[in-house]
Amino acid sequence: MAYGAPAVVIDNGSYTTKAGFASDDLPTMVFSSAYSHDESTGKVIVGDEEMSLYPQYNVSTLLENGLVYNFDNIVHNWQYIYDNIDNHNPIESKEYPLVMTEQSWNTARNKIKTTEIVFEQLEVPLFSLVKNPVSQLYRCGKSTGLVIDIGAGVTSVTPILDGIIQNKCSYHSKYAGDFLNLHVEHYLESKVGSIDDLLPDSFRAQRASDSFKQYYMSTHILQEFKNLSINYQVSNYQIYNHKFIDVTDQRNYLENLFDPTLNKLEGVNLPEPSFDKPSSHGLTNLVFMSIKNLEASLLPKTDNSAGTTTASSQNRFAWFMEIFKQLLSNVLITGGTSLANGLSDHIISDLKALTQKYFPNYPFSYNVQQIRVNNSSSESADVWDRQFGSWLGACNLASMLNDNDENSSKIALDNWFVTKADYEELGEDIIIEKFK
């Protein structure tokens, strides 16, 4: 039997939190994942407009490396959603199923802590954790593909075969949108002398905390300038005192995603790239390591010391070739930073060059192809799908609860959701099993 109420879907990203009902076409709430807090009283403020009223408060983050680390205060983020999700009207969390997204490298400890909060504090009736790359690929109608997600805090490369994430061949690094912001901030500071000169007068006052200034700088000035400079190549940029600064000598910031050591930043020490530390590499090398390790795990070995192959290994080789062709013809490039002009073309070009150079015996380079949701040619649709792809994909799965097809709702309940009753009876065991 179909579940009556639509699920609430929450996607906590490093930069913004996206939330809404699974029945919505787009998230009804998109707000900063940071929060303000008054250390003297313990007061916590969530929401961009609300935070701007208290610039004297310190600003803190909730996620690191794409994962929630601040569980003491993440509940304020989730409660803010329930208080505002229905056109700024509150709803009762105990009356709606809840679906959240998670990174594929999320830890068992984090899954258990998250589930404990949503069942014991929010008292939701049903809960599910959906892996970002799977939900994004699912939304495209694919079960096999290479998901390249470039967000604010993390860039990740995830191969998925028949709906299963290949964890040993999945890699991520912090060379993402926030890393580009560091380069933008350093460049603008060299132009104006002090980064405070870019802030509005009200926030340059002594009463604004340093962490609030950095939050505002990141979410407004740096984000705006990065988008303008990458997508429109502006030559003059207007700052808050109505003066223009000449920015014709700016670099192509996107190159830092592919080679993080290309432009050194004063005061920022980056780890030397090492193949035993994938997170030390830029995007191109992450992709290379992913497909190279996938080849090593899937390519059949010769059956004896003479190097001959049997019919069985020949069949495995044919299967390997078919899997790789499917994977590389379904490259999904997503995440807010991926919207930068020319970035997708650069990735696909590099991927073709990699296959031609390092896999010369396989005709993979002819199959490399970027996919989009429903092959949409609409520019606005592509923007929404990249910014909100994980949230939208999770909505697709959550909507199965409300499907009139009894079989669909049963599949969703049996495979992706945990009930509050089951959690109370089975505890951590069912969480580890269901959300593995």
Is the predicted pLDDT of residue 298 greater than 90, yes or no?
no
Is the predicted pLDDT of residue 125 greater than 90, yes or no?
yes
% of the chain at pLDDT higher than 70: 91
Q: Which residue has the tokens 């059956």?
A: 303
pLDDT tens digits, one per residue of 126-164: 999 999 999 999 889 899 999 999 999 999 999 999 999
The per-residue pLDDT of the chain, averaged, comes to 88
Structure tokens, 209: 């905390």
Contact of 420 with 115, CB cutoff 8 Å: no
Question: What average pLDDT does the segment 343-351 reach?
Answer: 93
Is the predicted pLDDT of residue 306 greater than 60, yes or no?
no
The verdict on 202 and 151 lying in the same domain is: no
- Segments forming the whole domain that contains residue 198: 177-250
Q: What confidence category does residue 311 fall into, taking pLDDT thresholds of 50, 70 and 90? A: low
Q: Is residue 129 assigned to a domain?
A: yes
Burial state string for 173-212 with b = 16 or more CB within 10 A and e = fewer than 16: bbbbbbbbbbbbbbbbeeeeeebebbbeeebbeeebbebb
The verdict on 237 and 128 lying in the same domain is: no
The verdict on 186 and 168 lying in the same domain is: no
The verdict on 160 and 208 lying in the same domain is: no
- Residue 377: what pLDDT? 53
The verdict on 55 and 100 lying in the same domain is: yes
Q: What confidence category does residue 1 fall into, taking pLDDT thresholds of 50, 70 and 90? A: very low
Question: What average pLDDT does the segment 71-76 reach?
Answer: 96
Structure tokens, 40: 């003297």
Between residues 266 and 95, which one has the greater pLDDT?
95
- Residue 318: what pLDDT? 79
- d(C-alpha 149, C-alpha 136), whole Å: 10
Q: What confidence category does residue 280 fall into, taking pLDDT thresholds of 50, 70 and 90? A: very high
- d(C-alpha 185, C-alpha 203), whole Å: 17
The verdict on 359 and 325 lying in the same domain is: yes
The verdict on 150 and 298 lying in the same domain is: yes
Is the predicted pLDDT of residue 31 greater than 80, yes or no?
yes
The verdict on 149 and 186 lying in the same domain is: no
How many domains are there within the chain? 3
